[in-house]
A and B are shown apart, each in its own frame.
Chain A
Amino acid sequence: MYDYAYEDDVLSVLRVLKLLKERQPQRFAYLQKAYKELTAETMEELVWEAVWELFDESWNDFDEDFETEVWTIRDASIDAFWGNLRKRALASGSSKACEGLLKDTLAYFLDCSGNSVVRIECHTHSTAAQIRLWMSPDVYEPSTLGCDVVAFLQYVEAENKRYENQTIKEAA
């Protein structure tokens, strides 16, 4: 579309940064100052850092058994999504299904590219969900992962809004 060799990577970076500006404006401002410029050389590093800044909390550690990086994420919109899933499941009598639904939703989006995330764990209690993502030791595709995370967060936020509107409608 733009007649540039790394067009898709550039668009992915801008996609992630645009969502970061909406969700976490202070962190966006920090990355803007830290990187200052977008170049072909810094793009991958920038998008990798921006992806994890999209969540309210994120931290990484190393799994010695799988020899790979593991990211733990927590976010208010994921907590709200989990809360809504749980309410629906309890109301319909299928409380076991909601954890599976949360994991399936994560797998649907974060496994879209099929390469970067190799394992997903959800640790939940009544009001919050903590997600653990095992990254592939062989594949490093931050641009595609960035698009997957943006799609996931946009879906979760749209679902939260839909559930809120539905609840208001039912209460009226």
Chain B
Amino acid sequence: MFEFSPAAFAKRLTELPARPAPIPVGTYSQYLQEHVFDVLRQGKPVDLTALDFSAFSFSDVTPDYYPVLAARNDDDWAQGFNGYVKRTPAVPCGEASFF
């Protein structure tokens, strides 16, 4: 009969890929304000060849909705996982599997 081994379970958890970090809320960039949005607001196109992509970070180009969407997606997956765990019988399986 197999016994639950906390050490083996903890070791298995460390072998799994890391949980994705939350997408941070976007930050404001003065560069984007002047060189992109002020230009577009005037009805003019933004010159892609002149835009300096090193002048802003990924945080500066995070849409407002995206961190919220990503956090909701994470919650949905956690709920789905909980649903699986609840349906798992509390008996030894005899092989290495969770579900």
Contacts and interface: CB of A to CB of B under 8 A. Distances in A.
Q: Say if A and B assemble together.
A: yes
Interface of A: 1-4, 6-12, 14-15, 17-19, 21, 31-33, 35-40, 85, 88, 91-94, 96-97, 101, 105, 108-109, 111-114, 143-144, 147, 150-151, 154-155, 158-159, 162
A88 B15 contact: yes
B41 interface: yes
B74 to A, nearest CB: 8
B40 A40 contact: yes
A1 B40 contact: no
B36 A112 contact: no
* Chain A interface mostly: helix
Contacts of B33: 2
A138 B45 CA distance: 30
A92 B15 contact: yes
Given A94-B96, A113-B69, A151 B23 contact: yes
Contact of B49 (A3, A32, A147): A32
B63 A159 contact: no
Lowest 8 A-B CB distances belong to which pairs?
A: A37-B45, A8-B63, A38-B46, A2-B37, A15-B61, A14-B61, A39-B45, A112-B73
